[in-house]
Structure 1
């Protein structure tokens, strides 16, 4: 069994300190926040985490543990992967040399996680995957101590994604040894008699070429009535959409207007859609949706966002919010909540609101 790893207690942090800067760390926080039944306890947990009220943290397969306030035993359990699931995961890691290099560089590539999910190997936790326990008398799920442990664990995950893999059942040493065992020795090619080769028959066709190869534009000759530049843009767009279709298995349905904006954004076309192009570059179709329309989010989602906003000003008075449907105006900034669960920042430009940056799930992160 993989040995447990111990981490020193975190010292008190500033009130504006952020949890999880990596995308996999944010996914961890999203899982515990989606599981929570009490946002008030989450807010207290964030404060406990920043105040350094937890002792050293121990990470072992399926288990995250610490002592809170020097008297309460806090544990968060994570389901471990089966041996068969680990074999499928190792297949995905070994299939691309860059995956191994990224992990050793303390990075968790998006495409590795997606490939693992396609192989039915859930690396990142989802709603209900984190099971908190605490010896305190609070019946919250999670209580403030378990919430604090989860928030501090996001800092550990930021620094080293192998912490997540250890929680799923295997540590760095085990994984590296397993990957080394899969390496086959290089053998010198040997000749095959012609008669033997012909006796094999017609071999099967090779696998299709990889979809992530570079695009080579076609050589287009000018012709009467043909806009060669526009045709080149359409060809490049079709190639890009084909790659995306091969990679994801599907493409979002786009209307004529959305597709015009996409073409202008991806190929630097001047179609008089500057704000829409900026929105697309920051958030794709979802970014364009929050630019052009408004909607009324569920109250639970707005309450969670309000708690996150207040947490960003712990110990201080949070800024005044002028709320209308999915739009929160805070001074010179307007945050718009998208149907994808992310907040998009906007700033004033010539009496209009313009997209001002990429979206975040935590609205407080856009006001720092």
Structure 2
């Protein structure tokens, strides 16, 4: 047996300060989008090999995890003194494709509102699908994986551990999925705000609105009826809006008898 395989068989060098998965048993991803990511990988026939990376992920063998456009890199401590470099690559969307995506998201108030609030809409994949795009890869050809370890299988346990911690990072920040595809959180939200800017109140409209404290004196009264001067209706707006009551007291309409009481009450 080659010397390198004997060396690997000794098990990983335990480290402190690594990135540990929060989940201690069962499934590592928690949200629908991170679970979807792992389901996609398992659909490529990686299920059995992915399981080998769970112990590494939970033991903190991944020393560092970085995500940039198209590439995720994990430094994973194996049985050798030098950590292995595990890389997972995906094709980023083009600027033109992102322009279509952003217009579609900005045009649908619910999606834009959720994203601006830092949430991932549950059917976001459908928006991409309607544009002929896919948020998650549909075939293994859309992913590239490699590791500096001597294991020829893909994914090796170092790549598998990186996949699980990547999924967990998606739990913490779903915008990382979009950043992996080529659009950072800040860029996307700034673009959505710009596209939806026409719905914001203009400065002229805002200045025309009076603050609430300017209306406290008449907040509980109704506006004067059409054709009635402010002086005639002052203090008795409710009576002026009512139909004349067919009642009189000593020949005086009840409405007129009630006016002094209503006027005193409002004053």
Aligned pairs (5 A) from 1:175-186: 175-185=188-198
Shift in Å, 1:61: 0.4
Match of 1:172 among 179, 185, 197: 185
Matched, 1:145 2:154: no
Q: For structure 1, which runs of at least 5 residues remain unmatched after alignment?
A: 1-7, 189-368
Instruction: Tell me which residue corresponds to 1:35.
Output: 44
Instruction: Tell me which residue corresponds to 1:56.
Output: 64
Question: Residues 43-76 of structure 1, C-alpha deviation per residue, up to 9 Å, x if partnerless?
Answer: 2112211111101210100011111105111110
**Runs of 4+ with deviation above 3 angstroms:** 12-15, 183-188
From the superposition, tell whether residues 51 and 36 of structure 1 become closer, same or farther in structure 2 (CA, over 3 Å). Answer: farther
Shift in Å, 1:84: 1.9
Asked if 2 retains the 8 angstrom alpha-carbon contact of 1:38 and 1:140, the reply is no
Instruction: Tell me which residue corresponds to 1:161.
Output: 174
Please give the alpha-carbon distance, in whole angstroms, between the structure 2 residues aligned to 1:104 and 1:52. 33
Instruction: Tell me which residue corresponds to 1:131.
Output: 144
Asked if 2 retains the 8 angstrom alpha-carbon contact of 1:93 and 1:112, the reply is no
Larger RCO, structures 1/2 (Cα 8 Å, 6+ apart):
2
Asked if 1 retains the 8 angstrom alpha-carbon contact of 2:103 and 2:195, the reply is no
TM normalised by structure 1 equals 0.45
Asked if 1 retains the 8 angstrom alpha-carbon contact of 2:53 and 2:157, the reply is yes
Question: Residues 156-206 of structure 1, C-alpha deviation per residue, up to 9 Å, x if partnerless?
Answer: 111211000000011011112222332354689xxxxxxxxxxxxxxxxxx
Asked if 2 retains the 8 angstrom alpha-carbon contact of 1:11 and 1:51, the reply is yes
From the superposition, tell whether residues 101 and 183 of structure 1 become closer, same or farther in structure 2 (CA, over 3 Å). Answer: closer
Asked if 2 retains the 8 angstrom alpha-carbon contact of 1:9 and 1:57, the reply is no
TM normalised by structure 2 equals 0.61
Please give the alpha-carbon distance, in whole angstroms, between the structure 2 residues aligned to 1:24 and 1:33. 14
Rg: which structure is higher? Answer: 2
Please give the alpha-carbon distance, in whole angstroms, between the structure 2 residues aligned to 1:57 and 1:18. 20
From the superposition, tell whether residues 38 and 26 of structure 1 become closer, same or farther in structure 2 (CA, over 3 Å). Answer: closer
Number of equivalent positions: 181
Matched, 1:23 2:36: no
SS at match of 2:63: coil
Question: Residues 122-179 of structure 1, C-alpha deviation per residue, up to 9 Å, x if partnerless?
Answer: 1122231332110000011111111110111111111211000000011011112222
Matched, 1:81 2:90: no
CA RMSD of aligned residues (A): 2.4
Determine which structure has the larger helix proportion and give its number.
2
SS at match of 1:56: strand
Q: For structure 2, which runs of at least 5 residues remain unmatched after alignment?
A: 1-16, 205-267
Shift in Å, 1:9: 4.5
From the superposition, tell whether residues 117 and 9 of structure 1 become closer, same or farther in structure 2 (CA, over 3 Å). Answer: farther
